[in-house]
A and B are shown apart, each in its own frame.
Chain A
Amino acid sequence: MIEVIYILWLRQLKHYWRSKSRLLGSLGQPLLFMITFGFGFGPMYSRASGGANYMDFLAPGIVSMAILFTAIFSGLEVIWDRQFGFLKETLVAPISRTEIMLGKTLGGATIAMIQGLIVLSLTYLLGFRIPSLFSLGLGLIFMALIAIFFTGLGLAIASKMKDMHGFQLIMNFLIMPIFFLSGALFPLENLPPAIYFISRIDPLTYGVDGLRGAIAGMSTFGIYNDLAIIGVLATLVCAIGAVLFSKLEA
């Protein structure tokens, strides 16, 4: 059981490590957001909040963003496996579908964590500081839960997709709204009711809020509430993914 999960995990890490262009490419977007938004909105945020530093607010959001996109992509990779035929090799093997789901979730989540950590260390260069080791530890837990949730979500979606044609649809109508309405870039205050509602059912909202609470000391809902919500959601999405995988036909 452990070894099967390990080999699935290892395969994904090898893919990640060997594709340097993807590794670098996926750092481009968070960096761009961090620099343009950080310096662009920084003065405005500062004035509106009465002197607070926007980078402290933004850094956890950008880290979450890096994790969100990497995790979703890793999950959706199963579609490539299907198209290149490799999925069949895994599906005819005498292993349980839960093992497949777990191996793939852990693999994708690990990659997303690595990307998140790279971005987190880059925020250091832009002046972001984490107050204590305890904050860092708590932050890592949030990062891991965000990574697991969105990899699981990517896998669950991928199990229902035959090819990459629906990819734009998912990006523009699911992932982008999840990102923009999560409070990663701006505070979720004084919003119109509809936007307010969506932001409150956005799973990433609680991930970002928790991470921000942990490493920047700013939280709307309270760190432990965030932890409970994102923890339950991550477990739930993995369970749903396992059910969907059990019905998977190559």
Chain B
Amino acid sequence: MQNILSVKSLTKKFDDFTAVKDISFDVETGSIFAFLGPNGAGKSTTIKMLTTVLKPTSGEISINGFNVLKEQDKARASFGIVFQDHSLDEELTAYENMVYHAVVYKVPKKERAERIQKALEIVGLWDRREDYVKKYSGGMKRRLEIARALVHYPKILFLDEPTVGLDPQTRNSIWTHIKKLNEERKMTIFLTTHYMEEAESIADQIAIIDHGKIIESGTVEEIRKRTETESLEEAFLKLTGRDLRDENNETGNKMRTIRGMGRRNRH
């Protein structure tokens, strides 16, 4: 199969506000795809629809050949996701979080221990597996979430701003892990980030979304050439303007009204 992820005319409306307007794109199997855009552009809404958390108003999504709306569980088993906000159970140990994941993803019992160990070793947390997650630092939690997403051998890994709020060491190590996963396991990576230099150095393909529409896509080279800029960051600013953006609270998406009304900054 050529494209692991295929999106056709995807639209999401919240009451009278359209967060995502008729977007279409494909992600090639084995590639690293960066999905960029300013705050409130529709990135997280799109990721939520791709990962079955949110139902699209219209459009089609297929992951690993499965229709995300009709073959939900098969699609769910095909991807792993690291959410923008933390999604670990802090009252459990790291290992218990991993076991929970392995069971709900129906990893065969015999393989569980081995897969969990491997995943925790990849992110360097095997020695800390018995610690409660609430004792972990922000970077360790992120690494644990990445490890957790690997346990069921996903074909495609979604990373929604995986390095936000982390120090350069941790960021660097996370990207190294991700690159390795992509190269060694041929795992497709779909990521969003606000760090343009990170996207520039890691991504094969880039799409830039703004006001719910994809306004540019291609390789870094192509985008730079078309926008006549020196770096991805310049291209990004040129395409999306220099105005500051507001983004409404993540979970309050449904309450999102017309841009500019009911302004709320992200926490």
Interface residues of chain A, those whose CB is within 8 Å of chain B, are 3-4, 6-8, 11, 14-15, 18-19, 82, 84-86, 88-96, 162, 249-250
A69 to B98, CA, bound (A): 31
Q: How far is the CB of B24 from chain A (nearest CB, A)?
A: 23
Write the chain B residue with the least CB distance to A95.
Answer: B104
> Which of A7, A84, A162, A249 contacts B104, CB < 8 Å?
A7
Inter-chain pairs besides A7-B99, A93-B104, 17 sampled, C-beta below 8 Å: A7-B100, A7-B103, A11-B96, A14-B91, A14-B92, A84-B89, A84-B90, A85-B88, A86-B88, A88-B53, A92-B53, A92-B81, A94-B77, A95-B104, A249-B53, A250-B48, A250-B53
Interface: B121 (CB within 8 A) = no
Chain A at the B interface: mostly helix, strand, loop or mixed?
Answer: helix
Write the chain A residue with the least CB distance to B79.
Answer: A92
Count contacts between A and B, CB distance < 8 Å: 73
A92 to B72, CA, bound (A): 9
- Within 219-260 of B, Cβ neighbours of A (below 8 Å) are at 251-252
Across-interface contacts of B76 in A (CB, < 8 A): 92-94
In this complex, which of B51, B55, B91 has the most chain A Cβ atoms within 10 angstroms of its Cβ? B91
Across-interface contacts of B251 in A (CB, < 8 A): 82, 162, 250
Across-interface contacts of A3 in B (CB, < 8 A): 103
B53 with A15: CB separation less than 8 A: no
Interface: B54 (CB within 8 A) = yes
In this complex, which of B48, B89, B99, B104 has the most chain A Cβ atoms within 10 angstroms of its Cβ? B104
Q: How far is the CB of A97 from chain B (nearest CB, A)?
A: 10
Interface residues of chain B, those whose CB is within 8 Å of chain A, are 48, 51-55, 72-74, 76-77, 81, 83, 85-92, 96, 99-101, 103-106, 251-252
Q: A94-B77, A95-B73, A249-B55 are in contact. Are A85 and B103 (CB under 8 A)?
A: no
Q: A3-B103, A7-B99 are in contact. Are A85 and B85 (CB under 8 A)?
A: yes
A151 to B264, CA, bound (A): 35
A94 to B100, CA, bound (A): 13
B53 with A94: CB separation less than 8 A: no
Across-interface contacts of B100 in A (CB, < 8 A): 7, 11, 89
A89 with B73: CB separation less than 8 A: no
Across-interface contacts of A19 in B (CB, < 8 A): 91
Q: How far is the CB of A160 from chain B (nearest CB, A)?
A: 13
Across-interface contacts of A15 in B (CB, < 8 A): 91
A14 with B83: CB separation less than 8 A: no
B104 with A90: CB separation less than 8 A: yes
B53 with A4: CB separation less than 8 A: no
A85 with B104: CB separation less than 8 A: no
A162 to B249, CA, bound (A): 12
16 sampled A-B residue pairs with Cβ under 8 A: A7-B100, A11-B96, A18-B91, A84-B89, A85-B86, A88-B87, A89-B100, A89-B101, A92-B51, A92-B76, A93-B76, A93-B101, A93-B104, A94-B72, A95-B73, A249-B54
A88 with B83: CB separation less than 8 A: yes
Q: How far is the CB of B112 from chain A (nearest CB, A)?
A: 11
Write the chain A residue with the least CB distance to B104.
Answer: A93
Across-interface contacts of A162 in B (CB, < 8 A): 251-252
A6 to B91, CA, bound (A): 18
A6 to B102, CA, bound (A): 13
A18 to B52, CA, bound (A): 32
Across-interface contacts of B51 in A (CB, < 8 A): 92
B52 with A92: CB separation less than 8 A: yes
Across-interface contacts of B54 in A (CB, < 8 A): 249
Across-interface contacts of B86 in A (CB, < 8 A): 84-85
A92 to B74, CA, bound (A): 11
Write the chain B residue with the least CB distance to A7.
Answer: B103
Q: How far is the CB of A18 from chain B (nearest CB, A)?
A: 6
A116 to B101, CA, bound (A): 31
A14 to B91, CA, bound (A): 8
Q: How far is the CB of B152 from chain A (nearest CB, A)?
A: 9
A88 to B53, CA, bound (A): 7
Q: A94-B73, A249-B54 are in contact. Are A4 and B103 (CB under 8 A)?
A: yes
Q: How far is the CB of B78 from chain A (nearest CB, A)?
A: 9
A94 to B85, CA, bound (A): 21
Across-interface contacts of A8 in B (CB, < 8 A): 104
> Which of A4, A82, A94 contacts B74, CB < 8 Å?
A94
In this complex, which of A11, A18, A94 has the most chain B Cβ atoms within 10 angstroms of its Cβ? A94
Across-interface contacts of B55 in A (CB, < 8 A): 249
Across-interface contacts of A84 in B (CB, < 8 A): 86-87, 89-90
A92 to B99, CA, bound (A): 16
Across-interface contacts of B101 in A (CB, < 8 A): 89, 93
Write the chain B residue with the least CB distance to A248.
Answer: B53
Across-interface contacts of A4 in B (CB, < 8 A): 103-104, 106
Q: How far is the CB of A15 from chain B (nearest CB, A)?
A: 5
A90 to B96, CA, bound (A): 14
